[in-house]
Amino acid sequence: MLVVIVVLGTSGVVAWALLRPSPCSGRTFVSDRFGYCVDPPSGWAGTLGSNGGWPIDSFVARTSVATVEVAAVKLTTSEDLRAFANRIGELDRTSGLLVGGQKSLEVGGEPALFFDAGAPAPEGLLEVREVLVVRNGVAWRITLTDAANAFDHDLASLHSFLSSWRFR
């Protein structure tokens, strides 16, 4: 009798694992190389690309200059979300951006941090929102870059983007 219960229990677990929907089922954009999927907001298009030889996924708004770039890196064993966020903040400062304070949010069910940064640019003021999330030793950097006069408006698109985020 015990063997029958074990066999039925194992069969049920295997069937559930095979038949459960993928977290990315029905998502518009799936990034196999970075292990996530999203539904970009209406009017946004996603592409796989690179930035200076580093792989990134890029999303562009068809009606504004806003872009969202996504990259992922494996962390050292001692680096956590806060340390990664501090490192990205320092990179932004080194690039000449004025970096604001960190705040918490959630992305794909995981704790995340974000901060805003800005700098003058030839076309006017440039605004950036860095969203950083760590999961299983991998860190994702999700960066919205936009003109200052459209930044607040395009934050709604970023929120929509982030609320659809799922890890594979």
Residues 99-127 pLDDT 10s: 999 999 999 999 999 999 998 777 778 89
Rounded Cα distance, 88 and 76, in Å: 14
Per-residue pLDDT reduced to its tens digit, 36-67: 999 999 999 988 766 666 789 999 998 889 99
Look at residue 16 in the predicted model and tell me its pLDDT: 42
Is 154 within 8 Å of 68 (Cβ atoms)?
Answer: no
What tokens appear for 36 in the block?
């996530």
Per-residue pLDDT at 6: 42
pTM score above 0.75:
yes
- Which of 142, 22, 144, 161 has the alpha carbon at shortest distance from 73? 142
Query: What do you get for the CA distance between the two ends of the chain, in Å?
Result: 38
Closest listed residue to residue 50, CA positions, set 34, 29, 61: 34
**Domain 26-167 superfamily per CATH:** Mog1/PsbP, alpha/beta/alpha sandwich (3.40.1000.10)
